[in-house]
Amino acid sequence: MALRLMMKPPLSSSKGLLFFYLVVLFSCSQSIDAQTNQTNATTDPSEVRALISIFQQWDLQAPDTWNISGEPCSGTALTTSFSEFEDPSNNPAIRCDCSFNASTVCHITSLRVFGLDKRGVIPDEILELPYLDFLKIDKNFFSGSLPAFIGNLSRLGLLSIAQNNFSGPIPKEIGNLKKLYLLYINSCGLSAEIPSSFANLKEMRIVWASDNAFTGKIPDFVGNWTKLTQLRFEGNSFEGPIPSSFSNLTSLNSLRIGDIYNGSSSSLDFVRNLKNLTDLVLRNVLLTGNFPSYITELQSLQKLDLSFNNLTGQIPSTLFNMNSLIYLFLGNNSLSGSIPSQKSETLQTIDLSYNFLSGNLPSWVNSRLQLNFVANNFTLNSSNIRVLPGLECLQRSFPCFRNAPRYANFSLNCGGPAIIADGIQFEAENRTLGPAKFNVTSTQKWAVSNAGLFADRQNQQFVENNGGQVRSTNTPELYETSRISPGSLRYYGLGLENGPYTVRLFFAETGFPERTSGSWRSLARRVFDVYIQGARRLRDFDISKEAGGVQRAISRNFTTNVTANHLEIHLFWAGKGTSGTPEDGYYGPSISAISVVPNFIPTVSGIPPSNPKEKNHTALIAGVTVPVVALALILIFAIIYVKRKKEDDDEEVLLGISPRPNTFTYSELKAATEDFSPSNKLGEGGFGPVYKGTLSDGRVVAVKQLSVASNQGKDQFVAEIATISAVQHRNLVKLLGCCIGGNRRLLVYEYLVNKSLDQALWGKQDLHLDWPTRFNICLSTARGLAYLHEESMPRIVHRDVKASNILLDAELCPKISDFGLAKLYDDKKTHITTRAAGTIGYLAPEYAMRGHLTEKVDVFGFGVLALEIISGRPNSYNSVENDRIYLLEWAWTLHENNQLLSLLDPKLVEFDEDEALRMIRVALLCIQASPSMRPPMSRVVGMLAGDIEVTNVTTKPSYITDWDFKDVTGTFMDESQTSIPSDHSGSDIKSKNKIISDADDQPVLSPLNISGFRESFGEGR
């Protein structure tokens, strides 16, 4: 039967066509033989009609190579060569089997429409091709839902629909394709859970299902696809854990799973049996546990990526000696110990950044390797610094210029040369980066770090050049290059003066086509997150979407605080968007330029070195000025020294504090507070009142006037000054100075306009704390505590974490206040036995009963605080039903009944359900009975931010039932203490809530079931 496919008439003459056909026929002997043997075979008429209809709907034209003389099953349609069938010139293509009915009937067995930008839906006529065993229609613009009738093509062995614009779930009927062994559904817009019917697909060899919106748990039945050789599940919304049944997939040579944010954590135990693996990528999938030694038994492994998990323990020495391993990515875990001393010649790329590794660097370290060792605790010597210059500035404490700032700004042309744009000098940032590389500028002013390998990309370039085609900007030269990364790209400002800064980030999408082009390439989506100082400031940021198209400039401004003289900007690919469009391995963050400027008048220049013409002039000025200044300084110091000698002991004690706090005179503070007028009183804490004041320079401050009757003597006062002066963080209230003399003790803090969190949550303040604000308050408070516990020098336990000690600035950013109760603890000690000080309702059991103090006491208080933020009520509230009076008890009840969202404040009309559940579960972890079961604050930050999995919450702590709740607003102390006299009953409630073990200030014993409580926590378990 002749085939008429609604084609355009051929351009050549019939004689020319005949000659062409003869050349084709006589040049392909195998195809000629096949055609000669099947001269009498014709294509099934019903299939011809179906093919005509399909081609009409898809606006396709059959190439002459197989549509010979109008017969579909002819020419290359009869080839037995797969390469000939896949030839780009043979597209669209079919293949036929003409062995039916004594070789007189041909059936179409393969249909290939590849990368032709065809639009429309999958038509019903596909069902009229029942002999199809090969359907490849990827890289088009097909849309609509994937039709269920595909499940009736029972002969299908290959189904490839990747990189299209479909929507909706996978039909469960696909599970009927029991002969299916190759499934390519990556980047095609599918969503929902993988149907349970897929358990029938036991012939699977290759499954690519990345870059979709699949949800739910990774099905356990995947472990029954025992013939699998490749599995890709990256870039979806799966929940953990990775099923242990994966251990059955012993034929796997490539396993890629990425970006699991919810569900349970996963173990690596299933990998033990996968001896044939060459490519193992389990990035950001909630892996926990010690790094397993059996990984080294996977002797064929070439690439191993376990980054962004929570693996602990030491790196096995044999890992670095694996003969086949080339790429190793273990960054952003919690690994400890040292780097193995020996390494195979094969291993060339190693990312160990953001762990807790220590010790000396091994002798095999050299500059020819791709190495990223940023943010660890290595011991570095001069030889290490020569090989990896600048690494000393990028260790965990970022020590360069700590407390000795040198700069106050920096601007970078990312991936490009130095330029001046819009009056700003942008430094060159065009040194070579690789999959595991960092660069520190020679001035140690800024640095850049990259980690990640572009998957399936031959050209591993980390700079995008666009030729200056960016529009909608007066500075197109700023967008001629952009730095790109496949995973994690960090920029650091080093030696910056502490204070508020504006960070401006410049973007332009130059690698993707316009979304309106209608091409399959226009389906490309670059999506990434941006963190500044650890806080996520942009989520799912899509440059072209935000800019209104590609080749269009866009910038974003952010205000942030620099603390510890260090700024970090982190661009992170969280597995979203596409990774194979417009070409394989094209994804991850991209940035064109960065500008960081202070929002204050700096005391350091932050200006690049002067040019040669200015040098002589500058030298002359310096020659005259320096001696004069030096002489003046000597005289000033001499005067200060003589004056100090004459002052009393209370003033002299400040000389031992480093850095020395600013001092105010009593008359200054008296004038600032209008003689400590009651109208300026902000509140009263356990050690005395706090007043609002305005200094002579116009600064508004908070003055804490420590009462003479307070138990905080000179030593405690000095300790408080030293403690607060030693730490600076954007989520800690800043100490501006102090006043000491005679019996007067005053501290001067920055003033926070929105006062304390408890007033905002349930006080009289008219503040609307919506969900994003509450979540940020919780996360930022966690960051402040993590800093106190793990990063500040000295390390600090606050001991009284509660809502009234969280103050809010004008932007409702939280700052932790009141370090009067914070005591330093020695790094070498696992705990401190000390006198209890804190507030009932927030006190950890082991601290309340035994004075057992570790940072886990603050973790407990933070857990209570988080529940209060979520619920909008204090931890004890008598105006509700009996079973809801005590917040902790109510929260655990809701957890047991799977009703956690009932805990949310009714005022919250809108909220992020995932964030809310995550926040509640983290809070419940924090209030576990045993200190060892409470996570450290750094892990709390990671769980809240969604960077790591929320550990499973265990059963209700026994103290919930053992504690006879009567009045959690009261206080209790050691058994040796007694109740205060009744004439103190009218004193400030906050004073009552303080636990002070000094005999002169004895608070009320709380009516608790002490025996049961002590029994539950006798050993802190």
| HEC letters along 651-668 | HHHHHHCCCCCCECCHHH
Q: Residue 564: phi, psi to the nearest 5?
A: 55, 25
Which amino acid, residue 709?
Answer: A
Report DSSP state, residue 504. Answer: E
Q: Is the dihedral of CA 628, 633, 635, 636 positive or negative?
A: positive
Among 279, 800, 818, 947, which one carries the catalytic annotation?
800
Give whole-number Cα distances, 1010 to 2, 609, 965, in Å: 95, 67, 11
Q: Residue 52: phi, psi to the nearest 5?
A: -60, -45
**Cα 367-369-375 angle, rounded to 5 deg:** 80
Nearest to 689 by CA among 672, 671, 674, 677: 677
Place of tokens 């209104």: 548
Nearest to 508 by CA among 463, 556, 547: 547
Question: CA 717 to CA 704: how far, in whole Å?
Answer: 12
Give the tokens for residue 338.
Answer: 């040292």
Q: How far apart are the first and last CA of the chain?
A: 84
CA dihedral 976, 982, 983, 988 (to 10 degrees): 80
Residue 132 CA to chain centroid, in angstroms? 45
Nearest to 225 by CA among 192, 256, 210, 247: 247
DSSP state string for 893-955: HHHHTT-GGGGS-TT-SS--HHHHHHHHHHHHHHT-SSGGGSPPHHHHHHHHHTSSPPPPP-S
Q: Residue 496: phi, psi to the nearest 5?
A: -80, 145
Q: Residue 303: phi, psi to the nearest 5?
A: -130, 130
CB burial string 881-913: b at 16+ within 10 A, e below: eeebbbbbbbbbbbbeeeebeebbbeeeeebee
- DSSP bridge partners of 463: 483
Give the tokens for residue 82.
Answer: 């797969």
Which amino acid, residue 286?
Answer: L
**Which residues are CB-neighbours of 626 under 8 A, at least 6 positions away?**
none
DSSP state string for 624-686: HHHHHHHHHHHHHHHHHHHHHHHS-HHHHGGGG-SSPPPB--HHHHHHHTTTT-GGGEEEEET
Give the tokens for residue 198.
Answer: 């897929």
**Cα 998-1000-1006 angle, rounded to 5 deg:** 70
Question: CA 176 to CA 127: how far, in whole Å?
Answer: 14
CB atoms within 10 A of CB 388: 23
Give the tokens for residue 557.
Answer: 């401004």
- The question of whether 800 is a catalytic residue gets the answer yes
Contact 572, 560 (CB under 8 A): no
**Which residues are CB-neighbours of 262 under 8 A, at least 6 positions away?**
239, 240, 914, 918, 949
- DSSP bridge partners of 280: 255, 304
Question: CA 882 to CA 884: how far, in whole Å?
Answer: 5
**Residues recognised as catalytic:** 800
